[in-house]
Amino acid sequence: MRSAVTVSVLSLAYLQLSAAHVGCNGQELIRRQTVQSEGQSTNPNTECQGYSYAPLEAIQQNYPGSWVTASILPNDTEALALYNKINTEVTAQFPNIQPHGTHNGSFAGVQYNSSDPDCWWTWSNCVTPAASTGLQPDWASVPEPETFGLTFDDGPNCAHNLFYDFLQENNQKATMFYIGSNIYDSPLQGLRGFADGHHICVHTWSHQYMTSFTNEVAFAELYYTRKIITELFGVTPLCWRPPYGDVDNRIRAIAKGLNLTTVMWVNDTADWTLDEPNTNNWPTVDANYQYVIDGASNGMWSEFGPIVLAHELTNMTMTEAMTYYPKIKAAFRHVVPLASAFNVTSPYAEGNVSYPDFKTYTSGQTNQTICQGRCDAVGETTSSSATSATGQMTATTASTHSASVTASAKASSVVVAKTGGAKRSRWLSGGLTIMMAGVCGVIML
């Protein structure tokens, strides 16, 4: 059984892992560098240079290539066996739900029942499947009033050090939805997110519209992202968020088979539009943030709190998040990661990480605890860090609250393609760097 060794460091320099970028023929394209030089760099070109990482090199043949649509790899008998089990259950329960549209989000000509029998979010913003399906409601809002559910999609960004250091300086944790290909490309940046105590969830392998995929591809997009997190971080996530929110009951059932709770949002900052070329969307994004903030004073969040969609996609989205964070803190009673909001004290399948519940987190004790074995075993705790319990995430004290987001009535059963953000930059870049000082790093041996 793999064991976790936790090291408290003043800098990741103590790990002294070498890094290099190697061309297709084995030539070295850039000078070798250490984790120290990468973590301390203030040059985005240096921070986002490629590097070699031995734990990834040892397993990379077991994964789809970077930014390719995932599928079950040849000879991956473990994945195939699990898929066959899940697929049998899904096709028996939802035999009539077919893939919708294209992988890049074109739904032109797609015919769909206007009553939304499949709880297709892209059609109606549905987050509550019918009780008869046996599927749990999506997490779209948090159960605690006047509480901001802090989440960021599309990480790990190779240049996120300044942003993560900002969160660390504010003793703030968030729920991070990581793309498998970004972990594949930037494993150390992903490892920092976990080591900093952020709540890590799945955001698929290639960030495409999930309802467009066959069952096998949808499974692979989730499976290999979950697996690479397990193999590199030592923990298995129990949550996921569909790119663009594109999910229906078929996809939810596949995720359920992988013990992944579906997480949505009640407010979208639309910060991802800041990355679209030849546009100036700052006023719109500012207004979206301000709308959520104003709701804290006008009673909008008196019974529950918003889960808000934001991104670590580029320097612009991360800068916007840092700009509005003080205003969010001032307006809301609490700003919390989703694991704490829902009192999920064991957010990973191994049970070797203990996460602070809502009461503990809001008292100022925000650190996770990593254990040598399961955290529910007496005397196993070895350090302050984080992780989880087997099965889908369930709130231990607070009941799951899903905000019902009502879509405007549709006069036609023809699906209209969503606009704005149907295409995002896959190569996350930006001018953000930071000293990786004071990080509690976890290396899986």
Looking at the structure, tell me whether residues 52 and 186 fall in a common domain: no
Arithmetic mean of pLDDT, 85-98: 98
What is residue 45's predicted lDDT score, i.e. its pLDDT?
A: 75
Arithmetic mean of pLDDT, 199-225: 99
Arithmetic mean of pLDDT, 401-430: 34
pLDDT classification of 393: cutoffs 50, 70, 90: low
Minimum mean pLDDT range among 211-225, 341-355, 400-414, 431-445: 431-445
Among 68, 88, 114, identify where a domain stops. 68
What is residue 40's predicted lDDT score, i.e. its pLDDT?
A: 58
Looking at the structure, tell me whether residues 41 and 59 fall in a common domain: yes
Looking at the structure, tell me whether residues 271 and 339 fall in a common domain: yes
How far apart are the C-alpha atoms of 359 and 78, rounded to whole Å? 40
What is residue 376's predicted lDDT score, i.e. its pLDDT?
A: 85
Question: Which residue in 170, 219, 161, 166 sits closest to 40, CA to CA?
Answer: 161
Answer whether residue 411 is part of any domain: no
Answer whether residue 408 is part of any domain: no
Catalytic member of 203, 311, 334, 401? 311
Answer whether residue 294 is part of any domain: yes
Answer whether residue 49 is part of any domain: yes
pLDDT classification of 391: cutoffs 50, 70, 90: very low
403 has a pLDDT exceeding 80:
no
Looking at the structure, tell me whether residues 231 and 315 fall in a common domain: yes
Q: Chain-wide mean pLDDT for the chain?
A: 81
Q: First vs last Cα of the chain: how many Å apart?
A: 10
20 has a pLDDT exceeding 70:
no
Going by C-beta distance under 8 Å and a sequence separation of 6 or more, which residues neighbour residue 140? 127, 264, 265, 266, 307, 402, 403, 405
How far apart are the C-alpha atoms of 144 and 344, rounded to whole Å? 14
Rounded to whole angstroms, what are the CA distances from 276 to 106, 265, 268, 311, 420? 18, 22, 16, 14, 9
Question: Which residue in 307, 269, 308 sits closest to 285, CA to CA?
Answer: 269
In the 3-class helix/strand/coil scheme, how is 59-112 assigned residue by residue? CHHHCCCCCCCCCCCCCCHHHHHHHHHHHHHHHHHCCCCCCCCCCCCCCCCCEC
How far apart are the C-alpha atoms of 225 and 24, rounded to whole Å? 25
Question: Which residue in 40, 38, 39, 34 sits closest to 17, CA to CA?
Answer: 34
Does the active-site annotation cover 185? Answer: no
What is residue 41's predicted lDDT score, i.e. its pLDDT?
A: 62
Arithmetic mean of pLDDT, 74-87: 98
Looking at the structure, tell me whether residues 179 and 260 fall in a common domain: yes
Answer whether residue 440 is part of any domain: no
Question: Which residue in 403, 393, 400 sits closest to 256, CA to CA?
Answer: 393
Looking at the structure, tell me whether residues 110 and 23 fall in a common domain: no
Looking at the structure, tell me whether residues 81 and 8 fall in a common domain: no
Determine the Cα angle at 49 with ends 44 and 55, to 5°: 130
Instruction: Compute how many other C-beta atoms are within 10 angstroms of the C-beta atom of residue 130.
Output: 12
Among 36, 68, 100, identify where a domain stops. 68
34 has a pLDDT exceeding 50:
no
| Size (the chain), residues | 445
Among 16, 35, 68, identify where a domain stops. 68
Answer whether residue 26 is part of any domain: yes
- Residue 278's domain is classified under what CATH number? 3.20.20.370
pLDDT classification of 404: cutoffs 50, 70, 90: very low
Looking at the structure, tell me whether residues 57 and 190 fall in a common domain: no
191 has a pLDDT exceeding 70:
yes
Answer whether residue 217 is part of any domain: yes
39 has a pLDDT exceeding 60:
no
Looking at the structure, tell me whether residues 196 and 329 fall in a common domain: yes
Does the active-site annotation cover 196? Answer: no
pLDDT classification of 422: cutoffs 50, 70, 90: very low
27 has a pLDDT exceeding 70:
no
Arithmetic mean of pLDDT, 70-96: 98
Catalytic member of 138, 153, 246, 268? 153
Q: What is the pLDDT of residues 315-350, one digit of tens each?
A: 999 999 999 999 999 999 999 999 999 999 999 999
DSSP notation for 395-410? -SSSPP-----PPPP-
| Domain membership of residue 216 as a residue range | 77-383
Looking at the structure, tell me whether residues 50 and 195 fall in a common domain: no
Answer whether residue 425 is part of any domain: no
Looking at the structure, tell me whether residues 305 and 283 fall in a common domain: yes
Looking at the structure, tell me whether residues 241 and 99 fall in a common domain: yes
Q: What is the pLDDT of residues 257-299, one digit of tens each?
A: 999 999 999 999 999 999 877 678 999 999 999 999 999 999 9
The count of domains in the chain is 2
118 within 8 A of 129, measured Cβ to Cβ: no
Determine the Cα angle at 247 with ends 245 and 251, to 5°: 145
